[in-house]
Copies of this chain bind each other. A is one copy, B any other.
């Protein structure tokens, strides 16, 4: 019988954040170095406890702005500049996931455009963007030239993998890939986002036809840019459509 108020076990509840961005053609996640045991010195996902009167989404938004300065973006409103997409990912509650006590962590997924630099509260050197492959690599293939050899603290590798998988599948059928782009962007920049997140090469011509032909996906702003060299490209903003139908197809293999 649910909700016996007289006796219930007490849990700590935290939020952990998978913050993804695309930098230099690679899908990167935000990682913080732990300053306290357990896992002291190891990299982990940003996160923290939920406050007694705080909603889960509010706790995630608070941690996000503390770690990155990014505002969480309510999808029902027009996107303010410097805003990130934020959604709940999944909840992790293995009794042994934290060696000290029972902690249930509600993981959230945030997608952000490429930012100047991560900003930490007090110690800026302990937070960084790292390519997700290096963070998920358990064998230490990146170990010789970085300090990322050790796996992530707690079950954060699993959480990160789940977040990456969510992002990979969600850009198939939604316009979420634009959350990785600045307010104005070109078709080529959007294509490089897809290529980085999926880890594949896409045909520029078919991609252009698909995204410009999907109603509501992209809105031309009129301007052009030549950021990448080559012929100047039209600039677009994200349109009102959130669901892509038919979806973008991820190439086989």
A residues with a Cβ closer than 8 A to B are 1-5, 8-14, 16, 34-36, 44, 46-56, 88, 90-95, 98, 100-104, 106
Contact = CB atoms under 8 A, between A and B. Distances in A.
16 contacts: A1-B35, A1-B48, A2-B16, A2-B34, A2-B47, A2-B48, A3-B100, A4-B36, A9-B49, A10-B10, A13-B13, A52-B95, A52-B102, A55-B94, A88-B90, A88-B91
Contacts of A90: 88
Contacts of A91: 56, 88, 91, 106
A130 B61 CA distance: 37
A88 B91 CA distance: 8
A102 B8 CA distance: 11
Contact of A3 (B5, B14, B102): B14
Contacts of A104: 11, 13, 50, 56, 104, 106
Given A51-B9, A90-B88, A3 B98 contact: yes
Q: Determine chain A's interface SS by DSSP, over half rule.
A: loop
A70 to B, nearest CB: 18
Given A9-B50, A11-B11, A104-B104, A55 B93 contact: yes
A166 B101 CA distance: 32
A201 to B, nearest CB: 20
B2 A12 contact: no
Contacts of A100: 3, 5
Given A54-B95, A94-B55, A104-B56, A49 B4 contact: yes
Contacts of A46: 2
A46 B2 CA distance: 8
B88 A106 contact: no
Given A10-B10, A10-B11, A13-B93, A5 B51 contact: no
